[in-house]
A = this chain, B = another copy of it.
Amino acid sequence: MSGTLYGLGVGPGDPDLITLKALRILQSAPVLAYPAPEVGDSLARKIVSPHLPGTQTEIAIRMPLSAPKFPDDEVYGVAAVSLKEHLAEGRDIAVLCEGDPFFYGSFMYLFSRMAEEHNVEVVPGVSSPMACAAVLGAPLAAQNDVLTILPGPLDTDTLRARLEITDAAAIIKLGRHFPRIRALLEDMDLISQSRYVERATMDAERIVPLDEVDPTSSPYFSMILVHRRGQAWLR
């Protein structure tokens, strides 16, 4: 009887924002796997660390900084071989995923390599736009709003064209793109309808007015929520 590979959404950062279902699998799977940088700790593992019994086999899937493209075929290929051995011997594996596994998550690269031949189950998690909206006190979208998720690395013309026609947007993965995107929002006169947060629900969470953010310091886990109607639509 072969094991099951679980893609486990562990939520946006607060360890208490994991679901009951994910917690049960997290604590009962004999093997854990998680993405990690080439050197250092895995954020997904850090999120769940208060819940770990400390007795599980752990596999860090480390992404080399020098990878010529993403997803890195070699890293995922090597990881898949190791995971398949555990599954073949009947051991379930919980792959830890920040937020939700299928919302811009790297789990899908394991999924695409393994779902055809193995039991794979995805456990959805609380995603970063919802976490950001909660801590900002800013509803994402209502009624028949169009809500657009925009990755910050997109070119400025694309971002502008999408912002022009959406009611609401979550601009994700800001990082080094922050200065360019703030300039765009200024140019579109959207600053007053935009809100910024870093690392929502994590210990290091920071909410800063958009025009006071140090443009060189914005991390990857930061987000801008825009609602073109401001908050007047709430009533």
Question: Could you list which residues of chain A lie within 8 angstroms of chain B, going by C-beta atoms?
Answer: 7, 9, 11-12, 14-21, 23-24, 70-71, 73, 100-105, 108-109, 111-113, 115, 120, 122-127, 129-131, 133-135, 137-151, 153-154, 158, 161-162, 165-166, 201, 231, 234-235
Given contacts A122-B137, A162-B165, A235-B112, contact A146 B143 (CB under 8 A): no
Closest to A100 in B: B130
Judging by beta carbons under 8 Å apart, are A142 and B234 in contact? no
Main secondary structure on A side of the interface with B: mixed
Q: Is the CB of B71 within 8 A of A104?
A: no
Contact present for A102 and B139 (CB under 8 Å): yes
Q: Check B127–A111 contact: CB distance below 8 A.
A: no
Q: Are B20 and A103 in contact (CB under 8 A)?
A: no
Contact A144 B153 (CB under 8 A): yes
Distance, CA A139 to CA B137, complexed state (A): 28
Q: A9-B134, A17-B21, A102-B139 are in contact. List 6 more A-B contacts (CB 8 A).
A: A17-B20, A20-B20, A100-B133, A115-B137, A124-B201, A144-B153
Given known A-B contacts A19-B16, A104-B142, A165-B162, A137 and B124 have beta carbons under 8 A apart: no
Q: Are B162 and A151 in contact (CB-based, < 8 A)?
A: no
* Docked CA distance A2–B19 (Å): 29
* Complex contact A140–B103 (CB within 8 A): yes
Please name the residue on chain B nearest to A154 by beta carbon.
B144
Bound-state Cα–Cα, A142 to B151, Å: 9
Q: How far is the CA of A101 from the CA of B102 in the complex (A)?
A: 20
Across the two chains, which residue of chain B brings its CB closest to A99?
Answer: B130
> Out of B24, B122, B138, B148, which one reaches A102, CB within 8 Å?
B138
Residue of B nearest to A121 (CB): B134
A24 to B235, CA, bound (A): 30
**Distance in angstroms between the alpha carbons of A137 and B11 in the assembled complex:** 19
Of B21, B140, B141, which contacts A16 at CB under 8 A?
Answer: B21
CA of A103 to CA of B115, assembled, Å: 30
Q: Which 10 A-B pairs have the closest CB atoms?
A: A112-B234, A16-B21, A122-B134, A124-B130, A147-B149, A102-B133, A108-B139, A124-B134, A102-B139, A100-B130
